[in-house]
Structure 1
């Protein structure tokens, strides 16, 4: 562990499923993250905002970490990397972000999976663990997720995880350089098993 990680990184939970382990990213994860994102670039790009020229640089990764740690300190978000159960192979990531407390008690869920790990049910397991964390540990009432209507894998994942489609958000996010409609899905605490 890097000394800076131990001083700056907030304490965060480790979530463990049957085949996955989720924990907050560390500086030491950079190489695995850059490699997985790089090899999955063509797979991920149609569903994500445009990548910057330095998207996979160490400088950009450090900026991400600062943002992730700041979110935890402000209680406004949690970012987890998804590993195999032993914690040795990085497979993807997900964020429980834009947490609004007070009368709303809601968060937005976002996720990505490396291409070689997609379609194995691993993200379903990770989403299940994060929603458990959202409702049981963070006492949230609602978790929302949006996805492009054309992203069949993401639609199927959300439905398998118990999310219900609530409507369409017109020209909601700029994906791959174009403002795209997104479907809004949500899971409520009282619907969670």
Structure 2
């Protein structure tokens, strides 16, 4: 399995998860339960395993199968969270979706927007995908700020879209396609050229979410 080279911008880096990361990731997830629970995917069929050793093995199998790329986000060499490129579709769709979480103690350091930008650039330049999507709960203001900063384009309201924190939840959908960011998402953001209103949500969708 060829592993993608780590990406770095300042103190923030993005690399493919390793099996030995499981213990650190599990400790972070346990220590951040109240912080992360409102945004965590759950199963309508009941509780799922919280064993990160199993979780990392599954993610790496998806990587080998070409259906996803599981990253860890680091700050000054310390694991700060996870970012997964999942649902990779090839052929005429050539798209994927990004999901992520960051530990509370690392919040506010620009880790998530930087990592999302780097992951999207990897998807467009190395994986040769055409479209990247992020779906966010209306209540998740921190994640909404991420797509606003990076200039992801709002595409619509998805009703009861993903099972989160024990129920089916509405999500706002945002996306970018490769042609919109020829210079790269990270470069466009760092240089202050990301459109400020691309992620604007129409009042009607805000009202009905």
Same fold (TM over 0.5): yes
Q: Unaligned stretches of 5+ in structure 1?
A: 1-8
TM-score if structure 2 supplies the norm length? 0.80
Hey, what's the Cα distance between the residues in 1 that align with 2:34 and 2:2?
33
- Closer, same or farther in 2 for the Cα pair 1:69/1:54, shift >3 Å? closer
- Closer, same or farther in 2 for the Cα pair 1:107/1:53, shift >3 Å? closer
Instruction: After TM superposition, list the pairs within 5 Å mapping 1:48-127 onto structure 2.
Output: 48-50=40-42, 52=47, 54-55=49-50, 60-85=51-76, 87=77, 89-127=78-116
> Does structure 2 retain, via aligned residues, the 8 Å contact 1:106–1:141?
yes
Aligned residues: CA RMSD:
1.7
Choose the corresponding residue for 2:147, options 134, 158, 172. Answer: 158
Task: Report how many aligned residue pairs link the two structures.
Answer: 179
- Kindly state the Cα deviation for residue 153 of structure 1 after the two structures are TM-superposed: 0.8
Hey, what's the Cα distance between the residues in 2 that align with 1:175 and 1:27?
26
After the TM superposition, list the runs of 4 or more consecutive aligned residues in structure 1 that deviate by more than 6 angstroms: none
Matched, 1:27 2:19: yes
Q: Unaligned stretches of 5+ in structure 2?
A: 184-209
TM-score if structure 1 supplies the norm length? 0.86
Aligned residue number for residue 149 of structure 1:
138
- Kindly state the Cα deviation for residue 123 of structure 1 after the two structures are TM-superposed: 0.8
